Structure 1
Amino acid sequence: MWSKISKELWLKYCDGYSFTDCALRNEKMIYLLAEEDGITEEQNTKMRMLLLAQRNGKIEYGEVTFNESFLAVIESTDVPEQQGLVFQVIGGSVVPTGGSKRIWPVEKINKDDISVIRKSKKIDGYAWAVGRRRGVFKRINTDDWISIDNGLKESSASPKARDIGFLGIDGFNSKDIYAVGGKGDIWHYDGDLWTQCGFPTNDKLTAVCCAKDDFVYVAANRKLWKGRLNQWESVHDLDLAENIDDLCWFDNKLWGCGQYDFFCWDGISLDTSISIQGSPASLMGSMACSEHFMLVACHKSAWIYDGQQWVNIVPESM
């Protein structure tokens, strides 16, 4: 199980910051995106990308500091090498971190236009990104992003942009991918062509998970859905404070996480009250998982769950 961040590391790099996103690089390395807590309107807040590595019973670290924060999401990639990626939501710039170099040039997802990127997901080792106007992009090499839009081209009959922007993407593999967003807007990619799926609601879709049980799960404003292609069923109502931003399949259960919400669905019941060591836990924020563990980055804590035990890697009394 993971160790705790040392108090020295916390005070140097995390004190006065709040976590805003997280990602997994591999089974021993995680990324945490942290933004400096607001000081005054006149002062710029900083932002940090932290790489934490579990080695020899302790956590080692690396970090990249941005002197001015911006709205961002993060993900990792394995191609062409393992590293973290910081995505500028409004603009579509990407800052690689780690890997074989300390400093990398800033990348542009769409060199011909300004992109709005809402979510990134690693699929078959490659980083994919989705956003406004059904934008889907894949990073095939360093500073080399391509638009994967075959079948997604808008027509004159396309609905308004706010109804068709993607908020989530996930895939069983690179030839079996789903992207969701807008008002019941869900698409499937077979490695060559995107095809719109029939979906029984125009509710806002916010997150998607291609699970190990071979089903696709979709979080909407009011319901949790399960299915594939053109066959979908509602499996549970959602009565939450805000949207679910992340869905993960871990320990044979579906987990959902948003800025103010967290749930676990075991196939029968949906539990929004999670207890850790017998006490209610206030889990919310962002989430990522692998086959071996799940990471939940709350504003001031970072929880790792291995299927048996929850551990907050933030040192006590911080």
Structure 2
Amino acid sequence: MTDAKFDVLAIGNAIFDVLVQTDDGFLARHEMPKGSMSLIDEARATAIYRDMGPATEMSGGSAANTIVGLASFGARTAYVGKIKDDQIGKMYAHDIRAAGVAFDTVPATAGPATGCCYVLVTPDGERTMNTYLGAAQNLSPADIDPAAIAASRFVYLEGYLWDPKDAKDAFVKAAAIAHEAEREVALTLSDAFCVGRYRDEFLELMRGGTVDVVFANEAELSSLYQTSDFDGALKQLREDATLGIVTRSEKGCVVVSNDGVVSVPAFPISKLVDTTGAGDLFAAGFLFGLVRQAGYEAAGKLGALAAAEVIQHIGARPQVSLKQLAEKNGLPV
């Protein structure tokens, strides 16, 4: 195995986030299940945007948030995601490159616009997402650069990629190339509703060895094994995944592997503002810990630190240097 050019390369849906603070009444009027991620068409996107209040707009997408977090820790990073050569697409590309991430995916010149996600944040900090995939759904195997994949220590994939057929094929291609180069493949299950759609396929990815590292939260784990018995589901995950990491909000996280079970507490916060990106940034910290070979407990602490930073402000990207924050808290960088 040759030395890696990148510590982590992430592949995901390139989505521009439109965040607005709202109330439960808005969700009810628009028949949105609270805390869910729903795929919407352009007409629905237009209707939601029309009724929304003042918004904060920024580049997003689950895996993109994770890779920006990794860059903030000081990791060498790359991202693959499909945008269109339009105004929002240009803003998206600028944002992710400005964060220190290599982004070379060729933009689409025809077809749907760059994807957008309307994120409704209620006073309890919960976020409800409505995603118009747009150009992101047209990510295809042709967008996967074998050399870049083979040069990355970890390839990180988001479960949302399993929705569009071409993106799914790109996902499988990337995993095969990574393993051929003796690299590791990580998957985030993304969303309990996503797991509900593709439960059997996700289990096969784990059991068949397509993915080595799996990130999930409690709801996703429960959906994956169709049980509310956390300990039972955790036991199943330990059998099915080489390495499994389950986040539990204020309860911290649990890491399961052949070596055993490790629990890591959450990092204390002053005020919960917006949970958007909590799981994404946790994954960034944990993967950074793996890259630095810091051990599972230290990786869990780095993940908890990054998640704590992002949930104390609006938006899914860190507002301070995570590297400096880790140093300040005595964590390995």
TM over 0.5, shorter chain? no
Higher relative contact order, chain-length normalized (CA < 8 Å, sep 6+) = 2
TM-score class, shorter:
0.3 to 0.5
Choose between structure 1 and 2: higher strand proportion: 1
Q: Which has the higher helix share?
A: 2
Normalising by structure 2, we get a TM-score of 0.33
